[in-house]
Structure 1
């Protein structure tokens, strides 16, 4: 495909993804009040446990509306994840053969639950993160957190976990495109394990080893599952190429 057609295709997929996120953001705007209460719960629980003033601080005239817009857009990204993930793979699939293009929907069927599983794990970790960080607040003091800062923290945490869980899907996609063979993934398994544990150590809020392992091990397992799928694909391709050479 010429460069111009690639650029046109990228623009098309970006526009379609943006429209999907916009629709999701409209839904997010309508459920904002419920979501905002859920976001506050970790802070309220920490305040009750420490018997201290802990909460969100809207420190500007437009902060409240700005936060509502940002939360709505963030919810739009989450709700429309099946749509924009499909657009991503729809852009990649022209590089595949006609047979391999059939795997596109399988990729979406796997990518969406993995992305949402990462988001769910981050949501599970959020109350623990808030509780731990508030342990450092001195007694008889208040902790009024900037609403924008808190929202940024939550968004980064969730997106980091969601993207981390998508890495195995990208690995398999690159393998099926013929860019990377399974042997390359195997050669880099030590680095993959190291990066997984570093990610878990940085992103998990509690200092205990069990929590770190509970985050790192699923990521490592997904890496090796992706490697296994790549091995099966390489064997099928090698067998097909050998049969062609034999003719």
Structure 2
């Protein structure tokens, strides 16, 4: 029958199957095709970073209407300290850093521009990584990954902002210790190295609570295991903050240690809620003294068999004769071997006569 014009033909199973396969084009890709796709995505990410580096290199010295230049933003903590604590090397009284090498200003501008380019192009290269990895994940794994990446970015930015705010107080404190004897003239290379290192260390340190939450969600760490160890955890965090803080200034290490303690406590509260939601109770072996052995739980008795658990009470009855086995060793009439018959005597003389 001729179908009316404008009507759609029914889709066969073959067409539906083909459409389902096309929704995930990476399902049937070979290893070479995966490597080619990875190469393409890496090239796109590097190209985006290069464009971001050019923008950061230009923005380092050129200000956008309503937005100061990148160099002015980065030297902000140094310019916020009192003018009496820094050397005035210009006649106009403007806050500036010094350069001690011929190509120091160019290389510093290039490094800062490259770092800014990585930040600017982060949506592009993060998307390339996600597009390459996501097809191999389940639907729930994708949701968890998106949530973790979003929280990780927010925590890193929060740590960098706190470091940017704290650096000015640390410089104010330490540059004012010997103001009667000397004046400080910071070079651009040393100052920017100290500033960028502080931003990165604070940002990475703020990822520690997210790592604790991940261990809890994977079932490797529970709230009851860390419930009574808060003092030890806080002391460890302050010790780590004192070691990794650039310059080891007391202001930076105190703020970093306090911030990490607060964030880790928030992570502990999340662990408490998550364990309660999963109905995970405190195991009995945590309450046992170190010199005392923990008792086996009834539902975890590995020695129980078909006849009952080891040590079960009951009368011991004597076993009867094993007839089946005894019958194997007592031969019957049918299996008894026949007696060996002696051969008849040979008449040697009669046989000799026959031979002759």
TM over 0.5: yes
| CA deviation string 1:107-162 (max 9, x = no partner) | 23322221111110000012112222322445364433232111110111000111
Unaligned runs of 5+ residues in structure 1 are 240-247
Query: For residue 222 of structure 2, what is the aligned residue in structure 1?
Result: 182
Structure holding more helix per residue: 1
- CA 1:235–1:24: 2 relative to 1, 3 Å: farther
Match of 2:291 in 1: none
Aligned-pair distance for 1:47?
A: 6.0
Aligned pairs for 1:100-179 (under 5 A) are 100-139=141-180, 141-176=182-217, 178=218
Tell me the equivalent position of 1:194.
235
Match of 1:50 in 2: 85
- The answer to whether structure 1 residue 36 and structure 2 residue 71 are counterparts is yes
Contiguous gaps of at least 5 residues in structure 2: 1-30, 62-68, 90-95, 281-356
Is contact 1:128–1:206 with CA below 8 Å preserved after alignment? no
Q: 1:200 deviation in Å?
A: 4.3
> Cα RMSD (Å) of the superposition?
4.1
Relative distance call for 1:81 and 1:112 in structure 2 (3 A) is farther
Out of 46, 53, 73, which is 2:114 matched to?
Answer: 73
The 10-residue stretch of structure 1 (106-115 or 141-150) with the greater mean CA deviation from structure 2:
141-150
Aligned residue pairs, count:
232
**In 2: Cα distance, 1:13 partner to 1:233 partner:** 37
TM-score, with structure 1 as normaliser: 0.70
Shift of 1:81: 5.0
> Quick one: distance in 1 between partners of 2:279 and 2:129?
27
Q: 1:78–1:183: structure 2 CA closer, same or farther, 3 Å change rule?
A: same
2:322 aligns to what?
none
Please state how far the C-alpha of 1:181 moved relative to its aligned partner. Answer: 2.6
What secondary structure does 2:53 align onto? Answer: helix
Bigger shift: residues 122-131 or 138-147:
138-147
